[in-house]
Amino acid sequence: MPIGRRRLMTESYGALIIPGATADGAIRAGAAVALVSISGNQKLTECGSASNAGEFQGFAKISVADGDPVPVITVRGSMVEPIVEGGGSLTPGDPVFLSPTLGEVTQTPPATGMVLRVGESVSPSQIFFNTDQRILVP
């Protein structure tokens, strides 16, 4: 007899949907996102090294509109196609950091805000998602 299965991974696009949390503004696919409280409501918003870096959760799996649930890639060890600062490409084998530009990543550690390493590039467009320590730069 076959085993019944729920289609959770299909419905969430293979990522976590945080219960009760919705997008605060439009969020781009591959954007770095943070979970914040706005007027007592849980919201996901694009974040950067100087804006909500301490609440970083992962990367948006798909683009969503304001108020929609956001599927977020949160599992360390996942392969992610993040938005690279300036539309550039990544150098494979080098570390990747949360960028000062909201929702984006860079391979240059930021000079201000929080330095958060989010992984290592494995190709010009993909990273191995693995957060390290966080360092606050004055």
CA neighbor of 43 nearest in space, from 30, 63, 54, 27: 27
Residue pLDDT, tens place only, 5-42: 444 444 455 688 889 999 999 999 999 999 999 999 99
Q: Do the domain assignments include residue 61?
A: yes
- Domain residues for 42? 8-73
Q: Of the candidates 27, 50, 73, which is a domain's last residue?
A: 73
The reply to whether 69 and 83 lie within a common domain is no
CA neighbor of 12 nearest in space, from 56, 82, 61: 61
The reply to whether 69 and 93 lie within a common domain is no
The reply to whether 60 and 116 lie within a common domain is no
Residue pLDDT, tens place only, 122-133: 999 999 998 876
Burial class (CB in 10 A: 0-12, 13-18, 19+), 83: buried
Q: Of the candidates 73, 92, 108, which is a domain's last residue?
A: 73
Q: Do the domain assignments include residue 1?
A: no
The reply to whether 69 and 125 lie within a common domain is no
Query: How is 60-124 classified by DSSP, letter by letter?
Result: ESS-B-TTS--EEE--TT-EE-PEEGGG----TTSEEEE-SSTTEEESS--SSEEEEEEEEESSS
Flag whether the pTM goes above 0.85: yes
The better pLDDT of the pair 79, 15 is held by 79
Q: Of the candidates 73, 102, 129, which is a domain's last residue?
A: 73
The reply to whether 68 and 84 lie within a common domain is no
Number of structural domains, the chain? 2
